[in-house]
Amino acid sequence: MASESESGAAFSPRNFLASRTRWHALEIVFWLSTLLPFVLVPDYLQLASQIAIAALFAISLDLILGFAGIVSIGHAAYFGLGAYTAGIVSKYGVSEPVLLLVLAAIVSGTLGYVSSFIISRFRHLALIMITLGICLMLYEVANLTSWLTGGADGLQGIKIGPLLGTFKFDLYGKTAYAYALVVLFLCFLVCRRLIHSPFGLSLRGIRENPVRMPAIGAPSDAHIRKIYTIAAVIAGMAGAVLAQTTSTVSLEVLGFQRSADVLVMLILGGAGKLYGGILGSIVYMVARDQFSGINPQYWYFWIGLMMVLVVMYLPNGLLGGLEKLTRRWRGKS
Amino acid sequence: MLGSMAGILFDGFAYGMLLFLLSVGLSVTLGMMNFINLSHASFGMLGGYVTVTLMQQLGWPFLATLPAAFVISALVGMVMERFMFRRMYRATDLDQTLLTIGVVFMSIAGAAYIWGTVQQPVVMPDYLSGSFLVGGVNIARYRLFLIVVALVITLLMIGGLEWTRFGAQIRAAVDNQRMARGLGLDVDRTFSLTFSLGSGLAGLGGALAIAMVGLDPGFAFAYLIYVLIVVSVGGLASIWGSFVAASLLGICDMAGKYYVPQLGSFLIYLMMVGILMWRPVGLFGKR
């Protein structure tokens, strides 16, 4: 693909973007293969839906971290807010999952929009600490308002109705996986369109140099606010889907651990390319499922080791490593 | 009323000094060397475990274990700097964040593997436990001891950085690496020593803290957040800033828990975000 876009006369910004938006055969194969769990591993559909949710959350983080270069170690704030919104509203009689999803997206998006005014002003350590601080504050609020959220005991009495009035969430997770997969795919389409637009390109410019971008007419702060809000919306939807498919919401959805986990998934797969987050969450969740079966206590040792090795030897994640391998292989043959 | 206020001030200040002892090493590694070192509290945890192990298994007196906690943490820090962190000084914020979070995960699982997940019992010697009354204020001996140690370390650090040859070398290497190299300084060696100084201080802080806050493998995460708050609020590279920020946080936390217990830790987080929004470089930061 690289040689295609570099070869001479036809090169223009429009053609460049168009060449990027074209669907690669591998992508189509990948999305078709996400349907395989229905037939191949019907016992693991719950896990598959968890993976789809994690992938959605990772994509949301990728938008701000991979593309706009905003390092956040408190992204669970929006995930948790979405989960709590869906859970709490469902207690008061609204049980249609799609409606709850939209509500959660709106609430998370609002918080994202408000906090984006703070986020866009800072960089480096202050930024990392403020993202963490916002998440910690939400955690404390959820912990303290136990009349609303159930506090440390978790939210009680969530009632999720059948999807679109017809499909019930069953024990095997068939509906859950289908639902999570559809939400993931739709959000993915939006993000894919977004990052291959001029807006997406200017985000990458901001990542490389936030000071220089305004000079060529791309207001860094406004762009960061937009993408941060979008990312919050998607994270909120991921949280809502988790609340609906598992019918549980606990404080853990806002915890530092969750922010760290999604960061690991994204980096493991490769930041700055949408598929990185998806691949990372598949590898991470499957590995966790397998390892924690053997010895749950020491699972974090292997995760830690994996992170250290990825940072030191695979700077662009698994996907970056794969790309490098294929390029080398093509170069030789 | 006045007595209880003085009591809160004293307890809060002592708690602040505990936070200061835990975080002063971080204002060296993160602050001066500009390396986002989230594994700092893991070194603190290591120091804590060294003290507990020496006291229980070998029957060392508490005070004698403190230098050991410092030395062992410093050595581990030096080895890790040599093989891991040194290669990451020029990496992005993100890579440093991830690498060190990875180390935190490994340290937590490692501690659980070696020492188990239970709280470690810490028994203080008689001369450090108990308390006495001064003008109606209850002064716990151990808290007084913490305050004294923290003051001594503050003076040593500020004095050492300002007036010793090694302090000057550190400042030169941190300020302008190329220039320092050009003048014939062995920057790699200076950085290695500085990093192990930071890790050693973390170990010492951890060894001193466990008597008040307990020790289990969750320590590395629980106190990571506090030390990060202290250093970012105080301002990078400023020992004095950390000192002020730690006392402020300690007193506010104590007062908050006493007067408005329903707010819990919310107050501290709010304060951090507020101060950082007002001064992104921290209270005493320069960059």
Residue of A nearest to B274 (CA): A130
Phi, psi angles (nearest 5°) of residue A163: -70, 125
Q: CB A171: neighbour CB atoms within 10 A? A: 9
Distance CA B249, CA B255 (A): 10
Segment A165-174, tens digit of pLDDT: 677 777 677 8
- Could you tell me the CA-to-CA distances from A182 to A35, A172, A177, B225 in Å, in that order? 11, 17, 8, 37
Measured between beta carbons, which residues in chain A are less than 8 angstroms from residue B45?
none
Interacting residues of B184 by C-beta distance below 8 A, sequence separation 6+ = none
For residue B137, the distance in angstroms to the closest alpha carbon of chain A comes to 31
Distance CA A213, CA A197 (A): 16
- The complex scores an ipTM of 0.81
**pLDDT at B173 > cutoff 90:** no
Of A121, A133, A304, the CB nearest to B269: A133
Say what the pLDDT of residue A4 is. Answer: 45
Distance CA A222, CA A120 (A): 8
Residue of B nearest to A265 (CA): B98
Say what the pLDDT of residue A238 is. Answer: 93
3-state secondary structure A225-261: HHHHHHHHHHHHHHHHHHHHHHCCCCHHHHCHHHHHH
Interacting residues of B98 by C-beta distance below 8 A, sequence separation 6+ = A263, A264, A267, A307, A310, A311
Q: CB A92: neighbour CB atoms within 10 A? A: 9
Residue A326 lies in a domain: no
Residue A26 lies in a domain: no
Segment A128-145, tens digit of pLDDT: 888 888 998 899 888 888
Residue A320 lies in a domain: no
Measured between beta carbons, which residues in chain B are less than 8 angstroms from residue A130?
273, 276-277
Query: Domain range spanning residue A61?
Result: 42-255
* Under 8 Å between Cβ of B29 and B92: no
Residue A14 lies in a domain: no
Contacts 24+ apart (CB under 8 A), A11-16: A13/A198
Q: For Cα atoms B186, B188, B191, give the angle at the middle one, nearest 5 degrees.
A: 110
Residue with tokens 């206590």: A297
* SS3 state of residue A7: coil
Buried b (16+ CB within 10 A) or exposed e, B207-233: bbbbbebebbbebbbebbbbbbbbbbb
> In CATH, what number does B2-278 get?
1.10.3470
Segment B83-123, tens digit of pLDDT: 888 888 888 878 888 889 889 989 988 988 888 888 887 87
- pTM for this entry: 0.83
Q: For residue B65, give the DSSP letter.
A: H
Q: What DSSP assignment string belongs to B131-161? A: EEEETTEEEEHHHHHHHHHHHHHHHHHHHHH
Residue with tokens 């987050």: A277
Number of domains chain A is built from: 1
Show which of residues 238-277 on chain A sit within 8 Å of chain B, judged by CB atoms: 256, 260, 263-264, 267, 271
Phi, psi angles (nearest 5°) of residue B250: -60, -50
Residue type at position A219: P
Average pLDDT, chain A: 83
- pLDDT bracket for residue A10 (50, 70, 90): low
Say what the pLDDT of residue A59 is. Answer: 93
Segment A299-314, tens digit of pLDDT: 788 888 888 888 888 7
| Mean pLDDT within B249-255 | 88
Distance CA A31, CA A101 (A): 23
Hey, are the CB atoms on A310 and B98 less than 8 Å from each other? yes
Interacting residues of B121 by C-beta distance below 8 A, sequence separation 6+ = B52, B56
Residue A280 lies in a domain: no
Measured between beta carbons, which residues in chain A are less than 8 angstroms from residue B109?
297-301, 304
Say what the pLDDT of residue B254 is. Answer: 86
Hey, are the CB atoms on A125 and B269 less than 8 Å from each other? no
Residue of B nearest to A299 (CA): B109
Say what the pLDDT of residue A5 is. Answer: 44
